Structure 1
Amino acid sequence: MQNTKRLMDGYFNDEDLDGVKSQREEEEVELDCDRGVGKQTEEETEKCQFPSVQHPQFMVTLSSLSSIMSAVTSSLSKHQENHLLSLFSHARLHLLYKASIHGFTAAAFHGRCDQQGPTVIVAYNAAGLVFGAYTSKDYVQSGAAVSDGEAFLYSIGGERDKPLRVGCISGKHAFTDGGSGPNFGALVFLHEDKPAVQSNPGDCFNFQDAEMHGNDLALTEFEVYRVEGLGDLLEKPWRNIQWTSERKQQLMTSIQNYLPEIKAVNQARVLLVGPVGAGKSSFFNSINSAFRGNMTCQAITGTSGTSVTTQYRAYSIKAGRRGGTLPLILCDTMGLEENADSGLNIDDVVSIFKGHMKDRYQFSSCSSILEDSPGYQKHVTLNDTIHCVAYVIDTCKVSLLSQKMLDKLTAIRKKANQLGIPQILLMTKVDEACPLVAKDLKNVYRSVYIQKKARQLSDFLGIPLSYVLPVKNYSEELELDQNTDILLFMVLDQILNYADSYFENQIREDQDGSNGPELYRSIDPRRVVSQHDEPKIV
């Protein structure tokens, strides 16, 4: 995979955006489940059904696939996942290829699995066994016999408490890197382009047929995952965080006392944009819960292959049950999808930027809002426009962002740049992406894996690393957690800082004209907006 050029810190312009389109090939484009395998969590995608696929050898084309699916999910159960992960040290699995979707053929396998680095094959049979092979080497179809001291075969299931692991016979090669299905000598997968395995114990690997596959060589499913090491914890965090109750209170106070730089603006308006299931609505619910002091679910969330959010919502947040309203509004949108005719319409995003969309407007993927549409707001002020855009990306799916999705995000960013709107990127689900962070959230800025994903997002989307912020939403908890709150408040505090940049630019524009800064700058930090502060018409 070829990385795009990293941009320098600072505001990014259209020339920058043109240069950061991903150059990755389509080996991962259709898959959208780069996550801890088998984990079904809030806002994750549900399994897709394919009633038109009647035979396992049916090959779905890329174009038809994209039209009938929004995600592909693993067939591993949680129990099987844990057993498989136990064969590796601090690793994550990323689904590259699923034969029931992409085809039980060698060509389909190589099209998605060549040059992917360390991979593990996961084969399923009717006997209930999960078995396969691991290699640390690339598949490149060289035709050579490849030696790999780290390669092994394995089997999960049956009456065993632990997985069966079989290493390569000393002096033997691990696999033949040809154009057929993966050939590990003792096990040849996708034999003759069929959902079947050829078993030859003693050829490179020794095992008993009954133990490995239960003498059942017909496959019900066949998957390949990239094995990605999580690495160790950094000696020093790449960002310094104070994980104390004092810091939490300091952040809360800072947010509650925030005042926009322009006197006529009452609240900073922040737009949440991102793919389906990234955690946009959950981010609002988490912020709302943290300030109220108890779990809330004002924004509807759920698990679906399409966006649960179908209306434009502008949410205010209260500081406690009977507290005052915070000086910001979080605007939630329908999720982005790869296809042009599904998910959030980019023209609608521009209308939101400019303040023309009213709260509770019903989105339509087929058409964008028009001036005569119900919910269109003709006369807007700076109170109605967006002051900061927050892109929300699932950390578990960074590696599998398709070019179509990147193109949509790039188009949105260009529009935001043209309007001078600052942008920030939120990495959600960091606890699901890294077990070390799940164990202790304080490891979020010490995790080698999280840092790597942050840098990848910076590269892929052309956003400076300083604008990329990890965050954990509340999803399964019943009680609030101090460390989770601190991470949420830090993100919100930074968002308000970036919103100030928007207001500063508005002030400069007014200074270039005839209006004086005293009309717009919040000089008195204790100022309460009065009825005499007339909004600026835009």
Structure 2
Amino acid sequence: MHSASKIYNAPLTSRLTEKQRQQLCDMMGNLELTLLYKGSVHGYQASAFHQRCDRQGPTLLVAYNRSGYIFGGYTSVDYAQSGQPIRDDQAFLFSAQDGKDPVGIRVNSGHYARYDDAEGPNFGQQLYFCYNNHPLVKIEFILNEAFSFHSFSYGYDTWLSECEVYKVEQRSALLQMPWRNVLWTAERRAELMEMIRNFKPLVTSVSRFRILMIGPVGAGKSSFFNSINSIFTGHVTNKAMSGSAGTSLTVQFRTYPLKDGCGGKPLPFVLCDTMGLEDQSGAGLDIEDISSILQGHIPDRYTFNPTTPFQPDEQKSSRPASLQEKIHCVVYVIDSTKISLMSDKLQEKLASIRRKVNSLGIAQIVLMTKVDEACPLVEENLQSVYVSSYIKSKVQEVSSGLGVPVSCVLPVKNYSQELELELNCDVLLLTALQQMLRFANDYLDDVGPL
């Protein structure tokens, strides 16, 4: 009895690595994990699970099997043994193999996320943990699924080497002082718009700055153009194709000149949109194509071929492109919610692009999108972006990962589901655009009138 009590009260040690913990937190937002239950310590009986985990608020279950897979699920609704089916639109499953990024699977709309009974935890009455009071997982594939299992991986190994449940809590994330000062006023928005209208390239041979957007699929490159266009048009627009598809919706190299309102004067910059970067070789934008874009060789509406890089016309490539045709500022567009989930292959691609851009001396900025989805406090009030310790930590993580100064990392929220313009959103977007134009002018000042 004494030894059993000693085991039961042993300090709980999480099996998650720091990287795995960070990746899972990123899937849920700015949250903190506290270990409540550990099967190897407390036993795999349903009663042990409920004793430790009932009425603890949102929880994350993490299971490990002998084949090196990590998988589990999140629910925002308390376990209470109510005997009722539970609706929870925040619920999701995840799975990953050792060394790979986790894949999240949201609950399908209109379905119950789990059944709240006295047995071991389950999700959608499809996925059962600690089944029958054993270190066992049971998966049932049914027609009317609460969760779509097509991307759920567990190596078909149903015996668990460990099962852990974590209490999920929001961190206290508001700093006493903002780490960047921003004026969130209509006057500031008007001032920024006027400065951008009147911005002129330092080199007279260049009529407009050319800004190239580069980033993973779905990060928000096309959405940034749409958002800037919306501000100067006066209402939300969707001129560039954007969405949340798994592969790039942009298949052409597009140069988007903008006007100051419908039928207005041209603004002094062009936003250049590219196909999204993807993990696999032979998919997404090719690094050689980026080199051709930077040097001004690829024409507007050129259709990318991921398996064959652009071949410049021999006659045209014999002469260097003019400074007007080259890229003056490169903007890396990174999704705030996926920073820790970025694969090694994608990071390698970005690093090789950075080396090429550095060799050409072109100015570089990082646009960190979807800050509202990354931090609940920022979602509640966008003005919290520069007092959010979580967003600050993500900016520092991007800075370190991409090798750019913190001052070059700019958090923004693009227009996505809104029907009307919003002041705070506009101020962040216009501040980022102003920095891009300043950096582009710094580059032109360096290279001189070529």
Give the TM-score normalised by the residue count of structure 1.
0.59
Aligned partners of 2:240, 2:317: CA distance in 1, in Å? 22
Partner of 2:306: 365
Query: CA 1:292–1:87 in structure 2 vs 1: closer, same or farther (change >3 Å)?
Result: same
Preserved contact between residue 120 and residue 225 of structure 1 (Cα < 8 Å)? no
| Structure 1 residues 175-217: Cα deviation after superposition (integer angstroms, max 9, x where no partner) | xxxxxxxxxxx8599xxxx97633449x9xxxxxxxxxxxx96
Aligned partners of 2:180, 2:308: CA distance in 1, in Å? 43
Q: CA deviation at 1:238?
A: 0.6
Partner of 1:180: none
Q: Residues 70-149 of structure 1: matches in 2 within 5 Å?
A: 87-88=57-58, 105-109=65-69
Partner of 1:247: 188
Q: Does 1:338 align with 2:300?
A: no
| Structure 1 residues 205-242: Cα deviation after superposition (integer angstroms, max 9, x where no partner) | xxxxxxxxxxx965556899985844321111110000
Q: CA deviation at 1:25?
A: 10
Query: What letter corresponds to residue 451 of structure 1 in structure 2?
Result: K
Q: Residues 253-332 of structure 1: matches in 2 within 5 Å?
A: 253-332=194-273
Partner of 1:475: 416
* 1:197 alignment partner, one of 130, 150, 153: 130
Aligned partners of 2:310, 2:237: CA distance in 1, in Å? 31
Query: CA 1:96–1:262 in structure 2 vs 1: closer, same or farther (change >3 Å)?
Result: farther
Query: CA 1:432–1:96 in structure 2 vs 1: closer, same or farther (change >3 Å)?
Result: farther
Aligned partners of 1:326, 1:505: CA distance in 2, in Å? 23
Q: CA deviation at 1:396?
A: 0.4
Preserved contact between residue 355 and residue 377 of structure 1 (Cα < 8 Å)? no
Query: CA 1:261–1:365 in structure 2 vs 1: closer, same or farther (change >3 Å)?
Result: same
Preserved contact between residue 256 and residue 270 of structure 2 (Cα < 8 Å)? yes
Aligned partners of 1:374, 1:302: CA distance in 2, in Å? 38
Preserved contact between residue 383 and residue 424 of structure 2 (Cα < 8 Å)? yes
Runs of 5+ consecutive residues of structure 1 not aligned to the other structure: 1-23, 38-83, 98-103, 114-118, 132-139, 141-154, 167-185, 204-215, 508-519, 521-535
Query: CA 1:460–1:198 in structure 2 vs 1: closer, same or farther (change >3 Å)?
Result: same
3-state DSSP of counterpart to 1:399: coil
Preserved contact between residue 391 and residue 426 of structure 1 (Cα < 8 Å)? yes
Q: CA deviation at 1:371?
A: 1.9
Preserved contact between residue 273 and residue 389 of structure 1 (Cα < 8 Å)? yes
| Structure 1 residues 98-137: Cα deviation after superposition (integer angstroms, max 9, x where no partner) | xxxxxx9433335x89xxxxx9699xxxx97799xxxxxx
* 2:401 alignment partner, one of 439, 460, 463: 460
Aligned partners of 1:464, 1:306: CA distance in 2, in Å? 30
Query: CA 1:86–1:482 in structure 2 vs 1: closer, same or farther (change >3 Å)?
Result: farther
Q: Residues 178-189 of structure 1: matches in 2 within 5 Å?
A: 187=120
Superposed CA RMSD in Å reads 4.1
Aligned partners of 1:425, 1:225: CA distance in 2, in Å? 36
Preserved contact between residue 120 and residue 129 of structure 2 (Cα < 8 Å)? no
Query: CA 1:415–1:228 in structure 2 vs 1: closer, same or farther (change >3 Å)?
Result: farther
> What is the percent sequence identity of the aligned residues?
42
Aligned partners of 2:181, 2:274: CA distance in 1, in Å? 32
3-state DSSP of counterpart to 2:252: coil
Query: What letter corresponds to residue 301 of structure 1 in structure 2?
Result: S
3-state DSSP of counterpart to 2:238: coil
Partner of 2:355: 414
Query: CA 1:199–1:344 in structure 2 vs 1: closer, same or farther (change >3 Å)?
Result: same
Partner of 1:513: none
Query: What letter corresponds to residue 355 of structure 1 in structure 2?
Result: G
Partner of 2:294: 353
Query: CA 1:236–1:485 in structure 2 vs 1: closer, same or farther (change >3 Å)?
Result: same
Preserved contact between residue 213 and residue 272 of structure 2 (Cα < 8 Å)? yes
Report 1 or 2 for greater relative contact order, CA contacts < 8 Å, sequence distance ≥ 6. Answer: 1
Aligned partners of 2:243, 2:261: CA distance in 1, in Å? 25
Runs of 5+ consecutive residues of structure 2 not aligned to the other structure: 1-16, 30-53, 77-83, 89-97, 99-111, 142-148, 154-163
Aligned partners of 1:438, 1:280: CA distance in 2, in Å? 20
Preserved contact between residue 330 and residue 362 of structure 2 (Cα < 8 Å)? yes
Query: CA 1:468–1:415 in structure 2 vs 1: closer, same or farther (change >3 Å)?
Result: same
Query: CA 1:302–1:230 in structure 2 vs 1: closer, same or farther (change >3 Å)?
Result: same
Preserved contact between residue 367 and residue 410 of structure 2 (Cα < 8 Å)? yes
Aligned partners of 1:233, 1:281: CA distance in 2, in Å? 31
Preserved contact between residue 120 and residue 128 of structure 2 (Cα < 8 Å)? no
Query: CA 1:389–1:85 in structure 2 vs 1: closer, same or farther (change >3 Å)?
Result: farther
Give the TM-score normalised by the residue count of structure 2.
0.70
Query: CA 1:385–1:219 in structure 2 vs 1: closer, same or farther (change >3 Å)?
Result: same
3-state DSSP of counterpart to 2:213: strand
Structure richer in strand, relative to its length? 2
* 2:368 alignment partner, one of 427, 435, 440: 427
Preserved contact between residue 121 and residue 128 of structure 2 (Cα < 8 Å)? no
Q: CA deviation at 1:294?
A: 1.1
